[in-house]
Amino acid sequence: MTEESLFKWRQEGTRVVVGYPKGEIFFEMPEEFKLENIHPDLIMLANYCLFSTYYPVPIYEHVFTRNPGKKIGLAFSGGVDSTAAMLLLPEDIELVYHQRQGFPVTGMRQDNALYMFENMKKKVWKIKSDQEIIGEREETGKRGFSTDYCAGVAIILMADMLDLGYFATGQMMESTHLRRGYKFRDFEKTKFWLTFEPLFKEAGLTLLGPVFSCSEVITNKIVEQSEYKDLAQSCVRGFAGQGCNACYKCFRKNLIRGKKIPTRSYEINHILTSRPLKQAASLIYAMNKFKSEILELDEYKGMELKFVERYYPPALELIPEEIKIGVKEKLEEFGIEPMTSAEINEMGIFDISK
């Protein structure tokens, strides 16, 4: 079967529907959006992000011709990390939110994000979609994104409409150069980066990681100095600007702020006893800095890990020069300094994966 016969795109009013072998998914787009005006490169890239995990998408046979636009689109969740990314980028960025739609009620909520959008001055494009059902229909049987960049498929679809030449995310250091926060890796040499970075660039959308160089400690510090300090909320179970205080995200973010959660849920206890420890670096740093007693983490007492207080300079080299200069200047404005050579070396040997 050809790629054209596998994936069928059509527009019904403001709803864009994508047919594929197991059914259909949709995106609720803005009124001014016209599917017929999308460059074929963007459809090919969207197909790859949505379906390549399960179906052949002939992206390497495609001849790309789209010229990049001038503006930046940020996959914006309203969480601390993506808010920090927004604050490090130019004022005229376009914020795009993936709004989960078409699912039964679950423990996951979007109240915090929507509350933030209602109370901030910047416009946020809220694109409703049920695309997370793709995985559930396939052999995994699990709802979720097919690839890591699916949360920003709406950015790809609106790239021509919004004159976008960059696709930015809030991926921070514990998701890039510190693999899940427990082991250093050369992110720029990973299969993930070597696969997606050139494909996005071919489609006229340079991948941007304004907080690739920043730990959770730093993204929190940036947001705490901004007008969004009481709005940005990473928890996806709380509501109206409040965390649930029962998930691991809440536990981690509160510990980084020097706060404590009075009671601990099963989820938190389970993750703290699992090894390798998820999102470990900033958590261990905060535990030792604030002298918090966490019996499950006794083995990490005394590990200062002060390198998480500073940004990792090599990660800035993954940002185009015209954007990197501004990101670096804003890091300095927020009082974030680069790691010293000794700290870079310390981070380079960080490994608690065993």
Assess if residue 326 is contained within a domain. Answer: yes
Residue 332 domain flag: yes
List the domain range (segments joined by +) for residue 138.
Answer: 3-216+309-348
Tally of domains in the chain: 1
Q: Give the predicted TM-score (pTM) of the model.
A: 0.95
Measured CA to CA, the distance from residue 295 to residue 311 in angstroms comes to 29
Nearest-angstrom CA–CA distance, 77 and 99: 9
What pLDDT score was predicted for residue 1? 37
pLDDT band at 242 (very low <50, low <70, confident <90, very high): confident
- 277 vs 3: CA distance, rounded Å: 40
Query: Is residue 226 a part of any domain in this protein?
Result: no
Question: Is residue 112 one of the residues assigned to a domain?
Answer: yes
Residue 108 lies in a domain: yes
Using pLDDT thresholds of 50, 70 and 90, give the confidence band for residue 262.
low
Residue 13, token pair as written in the block: 């009013």
Decide if 223 is inside a domain.
no
122 inside domain:
yes
pLDDT at 305: 97
Task: Please compute Rg for the chain using Cα positions.
Answer: 20
Question: Could you read off the pLDDT of 276-310 as tens digits, one per residue?
Answer: 999 999 999 999 999 999 999 999 999 999 999 99
* Closest to 167 (Cα-Cα) out of 177, 157, 180, 181: 157
**pLDDT bracket for residue 2 (50, 70, 90):** very low
- Taking only the tens place, the pLDDT of each residue in 4-15 is 579 999 999 999
Six-digit token string for 247: 């998930």
Phi, psi dihedral angles at 74 (to 5 degrees): -110, 125
Considering only CA atoms, which of 50, 4, 24, 22 is closest in space to residue 157?
50
Burial of residue 139 (CB within 10 Å: 0-12, 13-18, 19+) is: exposed
DSSP string, 63-105: ---PPP-SEEEEE--SSHHHHHHHHHS-TTPEEEEEEE-S---
What would the two tokens of residue 120 be?
Answer: 């901030």
What residues pair up with 183 in beta bridges, in sequence order?
Answer: 179, 351
Q: What are phi and psi of 26, to 5 degrees?
A: -140, 160
Residue type, 102: G
Q: Give domain status of residue 194, yes or no.
A: yes
| CATH code, 84 | 3.40.50
